[in-house]
Amino acid sequence: MSKLEVGILKSKKPNSGQSRPNRFFKKGIILNNFMSFQKIPELKPLYLERITSILNNKEDLKKYLEILKIQPVKSIRCNTLKISVEKLKEVLEKKGWVISQPWKDFPEVMIVEGKLQDCGITGGSTKCHRSDLRGSLKETSGCLSPEVMIVENQLEPGELGRSLEHLLGYYYIQELSSMLPVIALQPKEGDIILDLCAAPGSKTTQSASLMQNKGTIIANEVNMGRLMVLASNLERCGVTNTIISRKDGSALCKKFANGEIKFDKILVDAPCSGEGTLRSSRQTYLMWNIKTIQQLSKLQKQLFKSAFEILKINGEMIYSTCTHAPEENEEIVSWALEEFKDQIKIEKINLPIKPRQGLTKWEDKEYFEEVKYSCRIYPQDNNTEGFFLAKFKKIK
């Protein structure tokens, strides 16, 4: 059932030179957000205690808890291996989708705000395409006709994934914060890149797109089910510069080390407790537990160490997770700075959104001062999901 809304835009006659404010309602979006408030599981008390201590500010915590109740925006990334940004935008707008491009320097990133369900001009015979109508409304401040009815809607569940354009691989459905590691890594056309934990393939396809299928990516995934999803997504997106391997991440790195194969860039988007995905995955509320965090922290250190050893001198590596847990984030970064001492340098990252600095202390733990150069992404700051990333350079 669609979340319908109707907005009636009334104005003086088109050529009267006067217009009334555009009453282009977006009730559909509001209604949808209201509906998403329902049936959210309770946060586990220990999680609430921990996130309270991390945020350390009542107002901030309130904003965080509020935004958890709202589904994240519907974001897509244009697959420039198959279609230009301009063409995709045009095609999607012709379907009636309302598209915005939130990041000026990354026009391939788009948000599908909703869709124009129907439009018409009552009492007249003129017909126009809905995207033309929308354009005209913008240009004329809504004085197109004495009475125009516009119905704007949220996309139905799954609609993004069912469109012809998605099936043909023209875009990839990807949450905004998940695009940040590749933006920070800046893959170039000739690079040899290792994507150590690659499934489902969002970051691999994003890298291939930036590399225009030049260079080479090794995309690894240990789990067969997830590897099949990875293979399917790479195929749909027309990625031709990638080799898929299936091996435990640390063991794969050892193989490369034995074969003296090193990489220009490495992405370690590590398996994590997923605290950052609470907005979209209600499962995370139920699955969260502290033991998993402690186990993951060990695995993440292992992956980091193995990957860093096969990075070329002057090569760059991104470590990222979709969690807020310091044991999986700053603790790994601080440990790595200690472990590799004079071989490693943490780099500042330029992102198209507002990050917060990494923590330098939490509970009874103190981390290296440079850990502040890592980036914490909170959902309440940029209306995204939660994320963490840090960039390193191998200097020796």
Using CB under 8 A, list all residues that contact another protein.
Answer: 82, 94-96, 162-164, 167-169, 190, 192, 213-218, 224-225, 227-229, 231-232, 234-236, 238-247, 252, 255-256, 258-259, 261
Rounded Cα distance between 270 and 298, Å, is 11
What angle separates helix 290-309 from helix 249-258, to the nearest 10 degrees? 10
**Shortest Cβ distance from residue 254 to another protein (Å)?**
10
DSSP per-residue string spanning 157-197: TTHHHHSHHHHTTSEEE--GGGGHHHHHH---TT-EEEETT
CA dihedral 376, 379, 383, 387 (to 10 degrees): 50
∠ Cα 317 319 324 (to 5°):
160
Which residue in the list 119, 143, 237, 322 is annotated as catalytic?
322
In the complex with another protein, which residue's Cβ is closer, 45 or 164? Answer: 164
Question: Residue 371 carries which DSSP code?
Answer: G
In the complex with another protein, which residue's Cβ is closer, 168 or 290? Answer: 168
DSSP per-residue string spanning 42-106: PPPHHHHHHHHHHH--HHHHHHHHHHHTSPPP-EEEE-TTTS-HHHHHHHHHHTTEEEE---TT-
**Shortest Cβ distance from residue 161 to another protein (Å)?**
10
What contacts 24+ positions apart, CB below 8 Å, involve 60-68? 60/380, 63/380, 64/378, 64/379, 64/380, 66/380, 67/279, 67/379, 67/380, 67/383, 68/40, 68/278, 68/279, 68/379
Active site residue 322: yes
**Shortest Cβ distance from residue 256 to another protein (Å)?**
7
In the complex with another protein, which residue's Cβ is closer, 7 or 238? Answer: 238
No. of H helices and E strands in the chain? 15, 17
In the complex with another protein, which residue's Cβ is closer, 45 or 259? Answer: 259
CB 282 within 8 A of CB 334: no
Rounded Cα distance between 6 and 8, Å, is 7
Tokens of 239: 């990625």
Beta-sheet pairing, 192-195 with 216-220: parallel
**Shortest Cβ distance from residue 115 to another protein (Å)?**
11
In the complex with another protein, which residue's Cβ is closer, 169 or 379? Answer: 169
Rounded Cα distance between 379 and 359, Å, is 17
Question: Residue 325 carries which DSSP code?
Answer: -
In the complex with another protein, which residue's Cβ is closer, 62 or 94? Answer: 94
In the complex with another protein, which residue's Cβ is closer, 96 or 358? Answer: 96
**Shortest Cβ distance from residue 223 to another protein (Å)?**
12
Provide the annotated active-site residues: 322
